[in-house]
Amino acid sequence: MNTQFPSATNFKRSWYVIDANEAVLGRLATKAAMILIGKHKPTYTPFLDAGDHVIVINAKNVKLTGAKEEQKMYRHHTLYPGGLKESQARKVRVERPTKMVEEAIRGMLPKTKLGKQLFRKLKVYAGDKHPHQAQSPEPLGV
């Protein structure tokens, strides 16, 4: 009796849609990260891309709990001296609403080449329309 060892070509990829309308950001991000990584499948392997594709719609309506809307800061550095840029979550939501969801999910993925590969399977849209109807995605509750 031999043990079956999974390979990257054996995985069947599914597509899921998550509606972020009035969903808490952290709970949505954990659900999406688990699906991207593939931990919901019995064939999960830590060092292989076993996950599925995730589409997040209505990212502009995601909910932050507590005082995070005013206190949470998004930071990035321009690589110039003194180039640390900060903006509040309230301002990020107005300027680029998909960034909040993308960064929350990216932070829950591995910080390796595999993590970058997994992140490419995430599609985030601010509105309720997406161009992936041909993949017939299944709705997923948060």
DSSP states of the chain: -------TTSPPP-EEEEE-TT-BHHHHHHHHHHHHHTTTSTT--TTS----EEEEE-GGG-B--TTHHHH-EEEEE-SSTT-EEEEEHHHHHHH-HHHHHHHHHHTTS-SSHHHHHHHTTEEE-SSS--S-GGG-PEEE--
The predicted pLDDT at position 142 comes to 78
**pLDDT at position 120 over 90:** yes
**pLDDT at position 1 over 80:** no
State which CATH number among 3.90.1180.10, 3.40.640.10, 3.40.50.720, 3.40.630.10 fits the domain covering 15-140.
3.90.1180.10
Task: Provide mean pLDDT across the span 92-104.
Answer: 95
Task: Provide mean pLDDT across the span 27-56.
Answer: 94
The predicted pLDDT at position 92 comes to 95
The predicted pLDDT at position 34 comes to 97
